[in-house]
Amino acid sequence: MTLKELSAGSSARILSVGGEGALRQHFLDMGVIPGAEITVIKLAPMGDPMELRIHGYELTLRLADAEKITIEPIPKKPEEKTEKRLRKPPHPGLGETGKFHPKGSGDPLPEGTKLTFALVGNQNSGKTTLFNQLTGSKQHVGNFPGVTVDRKDGAVRGHKNTVITDLPGIYSMSPYSSEELVSRDFVLDSKPTGIINIVDVTNIERNLYLTMQVLEMDVPTVVALNMMDELTGNGGSVDVNAMEELLGVPVVPISAAKNQGVDELAAHAVHIAQYREKPLKQDFCSKDDNGGAVHQCLHAVMHLIEDHAERVGIPLRFAASKVVEGDKLIIDQLELDENEKEALEHIIVQMEKERGLDRSAAIADMRFSFIEKICAECVIKPRESREHRRSRRIDSVLTGKYTALPVFVLIMALVFFLTFNVIGLGLQQLLEKGIGALSALVDSALTAGSVNPVLHGLIIDGIFEGVGSVLSFLPIIVTLFFFLSLLEDSGYIARVAFFMDKLLRRIGLSGRSIVPMLIGFGCTVPAVMATRTLPSDRDRKMTILLTPFMSCSAKVPIYSFFVAAFFPGKGGLVMTGLYFLGILMGILFALLTKKTVFRGEAVPFVMELPNYRLPSPRSVLQLLWQKSKDFLQKAFSVIFIATIIVWFLKSFDPHLRLVEDSSTSILAYISGLLVPVFKPLGLGDWRICTSLISGFVAKESVVSVMEVLFGGESAAAVMTTLSAAAMLVFSLLYTPCVASVAAIRRELGHKWAIGVVIWQCAIAWLAALIVRLIGLLFGLS
Ligand code: GDP
Ligand code: MG
């Protein structure tokens, strides 16, 4: 029978794994290999995908993929009560270094060589947390697989002349997603002097799978066992000495979040890099394993390709296992001739025959058998951790069959309500008052000092009106980011991806795309970057093109401005409506492109669900500080300059004479050219056109420019409620700002970036026109 038919709560042994290519390799790398035991935990609320436990961790799989896996059910075993737990761990201390691996002192690198480290580990293993502790920097930490998308560099605190690079999280060194390729190429090409391999001990089997491939890369490595606090807190422990002996590299237990053991880790890393202490072991196959077929095959291949691997500079053992796995990229790099390829093929086919497994499965199985040995010898598993029990309880509501969707809608509604109606709004009004008072103070001071009226105008009508109006939105934006980061850090968004997968597949995407889109509510730039974790090109493109439809936080000032002027008291309603309109348009756009440009299936959805964790206040505060800083910088650079330029252009006429009435200014002249385009929307006023153009630089400046241009006069003089509605819809949908377009260009290239600008404007124009026509139909004007 197939895995699809297995009911929730029952277990089975895997007989075979179907499918092909990179995808199948990915399944194998995630531990879905013949012989492994697998348990179905539950189905997502909409019946698809399913959540499974294998090798002690949980992952999600779609039914369509589960169908390719054949299984044999095994009866429920009675709960084992292991007294092994009582064994006193011989090596309990966090941060204690092992005793098996003494620090050597031979063969050091020349004095003054820069030590470069790569931080390699699974997604969500705590890499960024550790990176921040090691370097003292403030990168964003998230509890979602795939938050780190760009690599970051920093020096190790207290060690001069060091650089450490936080690489994206990966599960294996096979080129399944672009992340895996990036990380692998980083190690192969830039040849770091050392690798810090971070291992989440609460998921040790899967994490060690990567470790074994890291060790094959023949670079000095230290293994950091992270989350020791969670393991020991629940009665587990690790015999570090024994593990060091089995792995042949220093192993340091740490807790990155609590900053325990990090200094020892740094000391060890610097040492092994300085003294070029390569892993003592790479040979994890054994001639006693299942008749030794894999062992013989790997060694035969190693001998055969030794000269090639040396010539092109790929570590031999790594090259050999990739050749056996059938990794095309590595095989091509090795430049083997036909004869050699044929010889290799014979060796591998012989192995497949003797082992009874195909090549990829045989290698994955070899690795997992070794890992099982390590775990049996050195790891005392914890009881079901408190965190995990708690997660399960929370999950029974948050991903429950009937509760998941309503709770999601409720949570999002609450977030927006608190942001736009309560916390954010309250803080904003406070800040507005402050700015108003300051502005009045400066105004009277300038008048008292009888300052030049032009300068006076610039300061009060230009800078205070413009920058001040934008500045007052800081609290709303920070509050929104606060909630988004809370959702993400806690692990909830991973669940959203899980139960939204089925819906998203209808529009041609997978659950994973939900993350970039939710980030898009904050800002399009990080949203576009977050798509890098999506394993298929098609999904990535589609998701990127959808993010501009998600109403970013910079548009909030625009909404508030018009709500205050035209829809007083209906703020929450109008805002929510706009957010939903954006999502709706995105869905329509996706459906349209799915049928045309992006034909094909969304990629499989294999993802792990992390435990719920309370985000650390430090990481949340850091994020808020970061966002505030970004916003303030933008307000005082881009928007400041844009405000001054606009003020200048509206205060002078083409002959550079100060104008009385800005409708004769340079600006009115230029923007007047666009007026006919916006006339059908009811927005045929040059001041509105100008503000929309300036929105291309930064969306917030639409408001600052309006303030400057309308001055004391109210926008209501030239606009009706209907044209304000058209304006809102246009602002929601028209081209994303320059920074976002640049991000899109970086990911997809020129053509797509220009395309986005053009069609977003066209869609916005059409949508606004429709709004106007409907309004006219109902007798509004
Ligand atoms: P990355 O995806 O590998 O960069 O992982 P992050 O650094 O973003 O961390 C993932 C999650 O693990 C976050 O929620 C962290 O707060 C949490 N975390 C990291 N290190 C530890 C640790 O030592 N102990 C515990 N209990 N949690 C940790
Ligand atoms: Mg990270």
pLDDT confidence of residue 226: 94
Residue, of 479 and 77, whose pLDDT is higher: 479
Burial environment of residue 404 by CB neighbours within 10 A (0 to 12, 13 to 18, 19 or more): buried
Whether pLDDT at 315 is above 90: yes
In whole angstroms, what is the distance from residue 201 CA to residue 623 CA?
Answer: 27
In the predicted structure, residue 56 carries a pLDDT above the cut 80: no
In whole angstroms, what is the distance from residue 497 CA to residue 535 CA?
Answer: 15
Give pLDDT tens digits for 609-637: 888 888 878 778 887 888 788 778 877 88
In angstroms, rounded to a whole number, what is the distance separating the alpha carbons of residues 246 and 279? 11
pLDDT at 364: 92
How far is Cα 319 from Cα 248, in angstroms, rounded to an integer? 20
More confident residue, 223 or 704: 223
Cα angle: 304, vertex 309, 310; to 5 degrees: 110
- pLDDT score recorded for residue 381: 84
Instruction: Please check the confidence at residue 728 and state whether its pLDDT lies above 90.
Output: yes
Q: Of the candidates 231, 289, 268, 297, which has an alpha carbon nearest to the alpha carbon of residue 89? A: 231
Q: How far is the CA of 369 from the centre of ligand 2 (A)?
A: 29
Count of CB atoms situated within 10 Å of the CB of 59: 24
**Residue 480 alpha carbon to ligand 2 centre in Å:** 21
**What is the reported pLDDT for 578?**
92
Mean pLDDT, to the nearest integer, of 214-230? 93
Give strand pairing partners of 38.
Answer: 12, 54
Atom of ligand 1 nearest to the CA of 124: 2
Q: Residues 529, 552: contact at Cβ < 8 Å?
A: no
Q: What does the DSSP 8-state code read for residue 418?
A: I
> Could you say which ligand is closest to the alpha carbon of residue 120?
1
Average pLDDT on 134-152 reads: 63
Please tell me the distance from the alpha carbon of residue 172 to that of residue 645, in angstroms, as a whole number.
52
Instruction: Output the CA torsion 99→104→109→112 (10° steps).
Output: 70
Task: Report CA(302)–ligand 1 centroid distance (Å).
Answer: 38
| Residue 732 main-chain phi, psi, to 5 deg | -60, -40
Closest by CA position to 206, among listed 456, 375, 328, 23: 375
Q: Chain-wide mean pLDDT for the chain?
A: 85
Q: Is the CB of 476 under 6 A from ligand 1?
A: no
Report the nearest atom of ligand 1 relative to the CA of 387: 26
User: What per-residue confidence (pLDDT) applies to 139?
Assistant: 67
Mean pLDDT along residues 675-689 = 90
Question: Residue 101's pLDDT is what?
Answer: 61
For the chain, give the percent of residues with pLDDT over 70.
Answer: 93
Looking at the predicted structure, is the pLDDT value of residue 138 above 70? Answer: no
| Ligand number with the minimum distance to the CA of 170 | 1
CA distance readout (Å), 535 to 170, 180, 337, 510, 602: 11, 10, 32, 10, 10
- pLDDT (tens digit, 9 = 90+) per residue, 425-467? 788 888 889 988 998 999 999 999 888 888 888 888 778 877 8
Q: How far is the CA of 50 from the centre of ligand 1 (A)?
A: 25
Give pLDDT, residue 294. 93
d(CA 678, CA 729): 13
pLDDT at 304: 94
Question: How far, in Å, from the CA of 765 to the mean position of ligand 2?
Answer: 39
> 207-211, 361-365, 390-394: which range is least confident on average?
390-394
Which of 119, 127, 141 maximizes ligand 1 atoms within 8 Å of its Cβ, making it the mutation to test the pocket?
A: 141
- Rg of the chain over Cα atoms, rounded to whole angstroms, equals 30
Separation of CA 393 from chain center: 26
Q: How far is CA 312 from the centre of its chain?
A: 33
pLDDT at 220: 94
State residue 684 phi and psi, 5-degree precision: -80, 50
DSSP state of 292: G
Length of the chain: 781
User: Which residues in 3-107 belong to E strands, given as ranges?
Assistant: 11-17, 37-43, 50-54, 57-61, 69-74
pTM of the model: 0.79
Question: In percent, how much of the chain has pLDDT > 90?
Answer: 31
* 742: helix, strand or coil: helix
- Please identify, by atom number, the ligand 1 atom nearest to the C-alpha of residue 147: 2
| Ligand 1 within 6 A of CB of 501 | no
pLDDT classification of 83: cutoffs 50, 70, 90? very low
Please choose from 129, 137, 202, 252 the residue to mutate so as to test ligand 1's pocket, defined by most ligand atoms within 8 A of CB: 129
What's the 121 CA to ligand 2 centre distance in angstroms?
A: 10
Ligand nearest to the CA of 144: 1
pLDDT of residue 604: 65
Query: Which of the pair, 514 or 635, is modelled with greater confidence?
Result: 514
365 C-alpha vs ligand 2 centroid, how far in Å? 28
Residue 297: predicted pLDDT: 95
Quickly tell me which residue has 């459906």 as its tokens: 591
Residue, of 149 and 119, whose pLDDT is higher = 119
